[in-house]
Amino acid sequence: MLENKNTQRTTLAELGEFGLINHLTKHFTIQNSSTFKGVGDDAAVLKSTKKQTLITTDLLIEGVHFDLSYMPLKHLGYKAVMVNLSDVYAMNGKAEQITVSVAVSNRFSLEALEELYAGIQLACNTYKIDLIGGDTTSSTKGMLLSITAIGTAKKSDVVYRNTAKPTDLIVVSGDLGAAYLGLQVLEREKQVFQVNPKNQPDLDNYTYLIERQLKPEARKDVVEILAELDVKPTAMIDVSDGLSSEIMHICSQSNVGCKIYEDKIPLDPQVISTCEEFNMDSTMVALSGGEDYELLFTVAISDFDKIKANPNFTIIGHITEKNQGINLVTRADQEIELKAQGWNALKE
Amino acid sequence: MLENKNTQRTTLAELGEFGLINHLTKHFTIQNSSTFKGVGDDAAVLKSTKKQTLITTDLLIEGVHFDLSYMPLKHLGYKAVMVNLSDVYAMNGKAEQITVSVAVSNRFSLEALEELYAGIQLACNTYKIDLIGGDTTSSTKGMLLSITAIGTAKKSDVVYRNTAKPTDLIVVSGDLGAAYLGLQVLEREKQVFQVNPKNQPDLDNYTYLIERQLKPEARKDVVEILAELDVKPTAMIDVSDGLSSEIMHICSQSNVGCKIYEDKIPLDPQVISTCEEFNMDSTMVALSGGEDYELLFTVAISDFDKIKANPNFTIIGHITEKNQGINLVTRADQEIELKAQGWNALKE
């Protein structure tokens, strides 16, 4: 279903490094007035600003973070940008620029890189981001991507992880667990395909899960909605490694505890039905799955009325004193201590 | 001679990703007032500034850009920072922050990463740079490093590549070709070692060359000297791919030609003697060698008196009208057209 049907092949050496960068970036346009000079010099130049500058970076490696047997290159490019923008939004900032470094082995053609950059460009156009620099080189194995995102925020708007306070409400945008289940579905199809390449997969029951895995969206809209609601979160983080790991970051850095209520965790119906099919616990999937790229934040209890009715948000618990620990209150009303079981790229 | 004698081994999985980042970065201190928040949140935060912000990034891959059989990890860490700072200085800016992303296969121990970070820290301390973020993950093969450097400069101080004018003088700092020859010496020693591991290499005649290859310095001092001399270059670039490739960037982007005089190209005596030994042409080595990390810049002819007597600088030619081409004037007073033969990481 997702294999690359592109049969044209232009070798990268024919273009050379500078020709390649020019070729891949020539259709990108500058959309932010803060970008003074983009690709083409020793460094990119950003205009001076009265705001603070936000910088975040992520490294994505084939075989560790993505599998090209079911991740189309255009989707990979899009997702790699999302992963980075999400970190800027998690600071309550506006993402404005990215740099993109790519290394590929000689198994990749120019057409493959064009697909990757088409996804990067779609992300840039949709989120109004300028590509301002990067590096293109060869690797000895597979593809790897290193993206740095740059954003701005007024100093008084920046939201950190270490400023949650007891009694604050814990809120999450969207729903959790779908991206992880999407990965499980794709992995299963890959196994089936390897055994019987003629098998036509029926993925109609998993469309939302697969979209969340292959084409996640960073929650730029949440930052805008919060501004419209006149709510400044007391702490915020994006959900890349799973709810459990993220709430533990907020609690440990803020020196507080929390209670998360199992029955409040937002789950899509496809997550519930697919968990049943896969014989998995949906709460565990939401807690430890990761790659949701939703925003997890805390707000003062005085903001309850502004948040409670908003369909983008779910209140899933509250912050406590540190000595109360970091706990999940189960549907059976039992408290169990949360442990980070998020994804660990260093596990052997 | 250069193998890692460290026999302790702690696996990275024991620490986990966040434990590892904390462990590796805990001894780094913040040295720039512009760094508002470094490692530890979704993104780093820089203070607002009246200056422009400079951003540059480089990707370094084992087996493509470096060989750990003769590049000690501490040197690699130092050099990887230099490569990026050099690009900020080439804009006539002040480098202030870096992000460092590292991926390693499970052949690397914690102690190996500590060595790498010791080199990064030495570079940060020497050049007054703050490590503000990054990513640490596993690779399926070897080590790779992605560094982004951030700097500042007053808008009126930033120097681009595309602003050289006919009659401008072409100036280079330091000397050229030594880093490339250092690489040739180390490659030769590697071959000898593989044939006869008991051979004790005598590298006394190549100390400068090897230092230029293994521990290059970015020319922060040149930016400071130019400010003291009250000289603003009309165009500038750093010499990473060889003099020929760099002057061609300036000329093509500035829409001008140039004359470079072979007898003016600054060469260290070790470059001359080692070229004789290796039967290489020293001019070719300077033109195409690369990794010198010197600054190549153009100045208005009215600045001649300020530049000519400075021991850091050599005037090697001048800018011409475009229709005169990009030429080397040989010692025999012949003009030959320059071609970029710099290092191409995409060559198969």
Task: Please give the pLDDT value at position A22.
Answer: 83
Looking at the fold, whether A140 and A252 belong to one and the same domain comes out as: no
d(CA B269, nearest CA chain A) in Å = 30
Task: Please give the pLDDT value at position A345.
Answer: 53
Tokens found for residue B287: 């033109």
Residue A163 lies in a domain: no
Residue B18 lies in a domain: yes
Task: Please give the pLDDT value at position A346.
Answer: 53
Task: Please give the pLDDT value at position A69.
Answer: 92
Residue A199 lies in a domain: yes
A11 touches chain B (CB under 8 A): yes
Tokens found for residue B122: 């030495």
Task: Please give the pLDDT value at position A215.
Answer: 97
Residue A346 lies in a domain: no
Task: Please give the pLDDT value at position B6.
Answer: 46
Q: What does the alpha-carbon distance between residue A348 and residue B107 come to, in Å, rounded to a whole number?
A: 11
Please answer yes or no on whether A62 and B140 come within 8 Å at the CB atom. Answer: yes
Asked which of B131, B157, B183 is the last residue of a domain, the reply is: B157
Tokens found for residue A151: 């954003």
Q: What does the alpha-carbon distance between residue B109 and residue B39 come to, in Å, rounded to a whole number?
A: 22
Task: Please give the pLDDT value at position A342.
Answer: 52
Looking at the fold, whether A139 and A246 belong to one and the same domain comes out as: no
Please answer yes or no on whether B43 and A87 come within 8 Å at the CB atom. Answer: yes
Probe site for chain B from A50, A148, A295 (most B CB atoms < 10 A): A148
Within 10 angstroms of residue A304's Cβ, the number of other Cβ atoms is 12
Total domains present in chain B = 2
Tokens found for residue B336: 């030959």
Looking at the fold, whether B32 and B87 belong to one and the same domain comes out as: yes
The tens digit of pLDDT for each residue in A117-136 reads: 999 999 999 999 999 999 89
Q: How confident is the model at residue B341 (pLDDT cuts 50, 70, 90)?
A: low
Looking at the fold, whether A307 and A184 belong to one and the same domain comes out as: yes
Q: How confident is the model at residue B12 (pLDDT cuts 50, 70, 90)?
A: confident
Q: How confident is the model at residue B346 (pLDDT cuts 50, 70, 90)?
A: low
Asked which of A157, A187, A204 is the last residue of a domain, the reply is: A157
pTM of the model: 0.93
Q: Which residues of A, range 262-291, sit inside 8 Å of B by Cβ?
A: none
Asked whether residue B23 carries a pLDDT value surpassing 60, the answer given is: yes
Taking CA–CA distances from A109, the nearest residue in chain B reads B346
* Sheet of strand A52-61: strand arrangement: A130-138, A94-104, A144-153, A52-61, B44-46, B35-37
Q: What does the alpha-carbon distance between residue A134 and residue B321 come to, in Å, rounded to a whole number?
A: 31
Asked if residue A336 lies in contact with residue A330, where contact means CB atoms within 8 angstroms, the answer is yes
Looking at the fold, whether A181 and A138 belong to one and the same domain comes out as: no
- From chain B, pick out residues whose CB is under 8 angstroms from the CB of A137: 59, 61, 64-65, 345-346
ipTM score for this prediction = 0.91
Average pLDDT score over chain B: 92
* pLDDT tens-digit profile, chain A (348 residues): 334 444 567 777 777 777 788 889 888 999 999 999 999 899 999 999 999 999 999 999 999 999 999 999 999 999 999 999 999 999 999 999 999 999 999 899 999 999 999 999 999 999 999 999 998 999 999 999 999 999 999 999 999 999 999 999 999 999 999 999 999 999 999 888 888 888 777 888 999 999 999 999 999 999 999 999 999 999 999 999 999 999 999 999 999 999 999 999 999 999 999 999 999 999 999 999 999 999 999 999 999 999 998 999 999 999 999 999 999 999 999 999 997 665 555 543
Looking at the fold, whether B42 and B174 belong to one and the same domain comes out as: no
The tens digit of pLDDT for each residue in A20-65 reads: 888 898 889 999 999 999 998 999 999 999 999 999 999 999 999 9
B22 touches chain A (CB under 8 A): no
Looking at the fold, whether B193 and B279 belong to one and the same domain comes out as: yes
B344 touches chain A (CB under 8 A): yes
Q: Is the dihedral of CA A89, A93, A98, A100 positive or negative?
A: negative
Asked which of A157, A180, A202 is the last residue of a domain, the reply is: A157
Asked whether residue B223 carries a pLDDT value surpassing 90, the answer given is: yes
Residue A100 lies in a domain: yes
Q: What does the alpha-carbon distance between residue B111 and residue B329 come to, in Å, rounded to a whole number?
A: 51
Q: How confident is the model at residue B5 (pLDDT cuts 50, 70, 90)?
A: very low
- Domain membership of residue A319 as a residue range: 169-337
Residue B6 lies in a domain: no
Q: What does the alpha-carbon distance between residue A141 and residue A148 come to, in Å, rounded to a whole number?
A: 22
Taking CA–CA distances from B246, the nearest residue in chain A reads A42
Looking at the fold, whether A26 and A136 belong to one and the same domain comes out as: yes
Looking at the fold, whether B333 and B207 belong to one and the same domain comes out as: yes
Looking at the fold, whether A184 and A324 belong to one and the same domain comes out as: yes
Looking at the fold, whether B179 and B109 belong to one and the same domain comes out as: no
- From chain B, pick out residues whose CB is under 8 angstroms from the CB of A155: 36, 47-48
Residue B151 lies in a domain: yes
- Residue B301's CATH number: 3.90.650.10
For range B290-319, the mean pLDDT:
97
- Residue B23's CATH number: 3.30.1330.10
DSSP-derived pairing of the beta strands B326-329 and B257-261: parallel
Choose among B58, B141, B161: nearest Cβ to A41.
Answer: B161
- From chain A, pick out residues whose CB is under 8 angstroms from the CB of B36: 52, 155
The tens digit of pLDDT for each residue in B158-213 reads: 999 999 999 999 999 999 999 999 999 999 998 888 888 887 778 889 999 999 99
A130 touches chain B (CB under 8 A): no
Taking CA–CA distances from A135, the nearest residue in chain B reads B58
Please answer yes or no on whether A13 and B347 come within 8 Å at the CB atom. Answer: yes
The tens digit of pLDDT for each residue in B107-144 reads: 999 999 999 999 999 999 999 999 999 989 999 999 99
Choose among B37, B51, B101: nearest Cβ to A146.
Answer: B101
Taking CA–CA distances from B57, the nearest residue in chain A reads A134
Q: Which residues of B, range 142-181, sit inside 8 Å of A by Cβ?
A: 142, 144, 146, 148-151, 155, 158, 160-162
The tens digit of pLDDT for each residue in A239-249 reads: 999 999 999 99
Asked if residue B180 lies in contact with residue B214, where contact means CB atoms within 8 angstroms, the answer is no
For range B245-274, the mean pLDDT:
97
DSSP-derived pairing of the beta strands B295-299 and B169-173: antiparallel
Looking at the fold, whether B74 and B139 belong to one and the same domain comes out as: yes
Task: Please give the pLDDT value at position A16.
Answer: 73
Residue A55 lies in a domain: yes
Please answer yes or no on whether A134 and B57 come within 8 Å at the CB atom. Answer: yes
A101 touches chain B (CB under 8 A): yes
